[in-house]
Amino acid sequence: MLSRTADHLYWMARYTERAENTVRMLDVSYRMSMLPRANGDDHANWRAILDISELSDAYVRTGRPLSPRDVIEFVLLDRDNLSSVWNCLRAARENAHAVRGKLTGEMWETTNATWLEIRDLTPEGLQDMDLGAFFEWVKFRSHLLRGVTVGTMFHDDAFQFARLGTFLERADNTARLLDVKFHALMPAGEDTHGATDYYQWGSLLRSVSAFETYRQVYRDVITPHKVAELLMLNHAMPRSLHACLDEIVDILGQVANSRSCETIRKAGALHASLHYGSMDDIFAVGLHQSLEKFLACINKLGDRISNDFLMPMAVA
């Protein structure tokens, strides 16, 4: 297939996944801010949201106060914030538009309808909406596109590149979420217990739809160590780093070409570190350090995939 076509499919999927994960993060912070007592000041919570997406500097430049309303508006709808959900869904639709002939009718209609619905949404309009319902809507539009893709698209290389985009983005997003939440929730490495853990870590689990799974897997109280294990190493947890790497390695094996050996090797090595890794090893190095290293690897992997298969990234 055409490299440019693969590129558009890959980014269509990445942007959709990014929009979904962004509202997952917003959703959890929004819920936590409604708890009777939040951990320390509420600001840290909202700053964390911006940190996750490396948007703090951009946010400060807008001169907005660090209020929930303002942060939510910025992350959801800001036209100048290229990572806003609005911009992600626009970019997903533009990528789809560029290759609409390669999409099934349902895929195109899903992406296009999503965009048409959010296109004219303004901050004023947002104020009249039930935020929780809006978050759900974004999540379900992403579910729908993914489901329609799996359920209607011919499973050829085009399909594989769309899937590759989904899992690369998800691996990145889950790692960021964990990293920032650990920072925000355990500022000085102090250990907290009891009710705080339950609510704070519980809401993190909920944000990745893993609360019930946690109970099922551990049958135990919620501890940070186990939350990290579930989201990093458990291959059956669909949003875990391990699960994402399972998919990525599998897909790279299927689309391999004469240039991609080194990319496949690097992905395999990263996969092995999760497949054979233990939380003790990870905490020995430091969770933050481990996640930072993981994010750097994913980032490089993305560049390599672009150079081997897609449209090469412009050299800065």
Partner 1 sequence: MSEVTKTGATPYDEMYTADGAVRPHYRPYAQWLEEVPRALIERKRSEADIAFHRVGITFNVYGAEGGKERLIPFDLLPRIIPGHEWSELERGLAQRVRALNAFLADIYHDQEILRAGRIPADQILSNAQFRPEMKGVKVPGGLYSMIAGIDLVRAAGADGSGEFFVLEDNLRVPSGVSYMLENRKMMMRLFPDLFSRYHVQPVEHYPDLLLETLRAVAPAGVVDPTVVVLTPGAYNSAYFEHSFLAQQMGVELVEGQDMFVQDDVLYMRTTQGPRRVDVIYRRIDDDFLDPLAFRADSMLGVPGLMRAYQAGHVTLANAVGTGVADDKSIYPYVPEMVRFYLGEEPVLNNVPTWMLREKDDLAYVLEHLPELVVKEVHGAGGYGMLVGPASTRAEIEDFRQRILAAPEKYIAQPTLSLSSCPTFVEAGIAPRHIDLRPFVLSGGKQVRMVPGGLTRVALKEGSLVVNSSQGGGTKDTWVVD
User: Dihedrals φ, ψ of 236, to 5°?
Assistant: -90, -5
The footprint of partner 1 on residues 293-312 (CB under 8 A) is 309-310
Nearer to partner 1, 201 or 309 (CB): 309
* Binder of partner 1 out of 6, 91, 168, 222 (CB under 8 A): 6
Shortest Å distance, C-beta 258 to partner 1:
6
- Check residue 152 for interaction with partner 1 (CB under 8 A): no
- Check residue 315 for interaction with partner 1 (CB under 8 A): no
Coil, strand, or helix at residue 122?
A: coil
- Check residue 122 for interaction with partner 1 (CB under 8 A): no
Task: Select from 263, 277, 209, 270 the least CA-distant residue to 244.
Answer: 270
CB 57 within 8 A of CB 235: no
Site string for partner 1, 198-227 (x = CB under 8 A): ------------------------------
Shortest Å distance, C-beta 308 to partner 1:
8
- Check residue 99 for interaction with partner 1 (CB under 8 A): yes
Nearer to partner 1, 103 or 298 (CB): 103
The footprint of partner 1 on residues 156-175 (CB under 8 A) is 157, 161
CB 242 within 8 A of CB 158: no
Nearer to partner 1, 92 or 204 (CB): 92
Nearer to partner 1, 2 or 35 (CB): 2
Residues whose CB is less than 8 angstroms from the CB of residue 91 and which lie 6 or more positions away in sequence, other chains included = 11, 15
Task: Select from 222, 221, 236, 219 the least CA-distant residue to 274.
Answer: 236
Shortest Å distance, C-beta 166 to partner 1:
17
Nearer to partner 1, 109 or 281 (CB): 109
Coil, strand, or helix at residue 174?
A: helix
Task: Select from 237, 178, 177, 243 the least CA-distant residue to 211.
Answer: 237
User: Dihedrals φ, ψ of 62, to 5°?
Assistant: -75, -15
Nearer to partner 1, 5 or 152 (CB): 5
> CA gyration radius for the chain?
19
The footprint of partner 1 on residues 228-267 (CB under 8 A) is 255, 257-259
Q: How far is CA 237 from the centre of its chain?
A: 14
CB 289 within 8 A of CB 251: no
Shortest Å distance, C-beta 257 to partner 1:
5
- Check residue 3 for interaction with partner 1 (CB under 8 A): yes
Look-up of token digits 């970019």: 91
DSSP state of 100: G
Which among 20-28, 100-108, 214-222, 271-279 is the span making contact with partner 1, rule CB under 8 A?
Answer: 100-108
Q: Which two tokens stand for residue 144?
A: 């729908």
The residues of the shown chain that bind partner 1, judged by CB under 8 A, are 1-6, 94, 97-102, 105, 108-109, 112-113, 116, 157, 161, 255, 257-259, 309-310
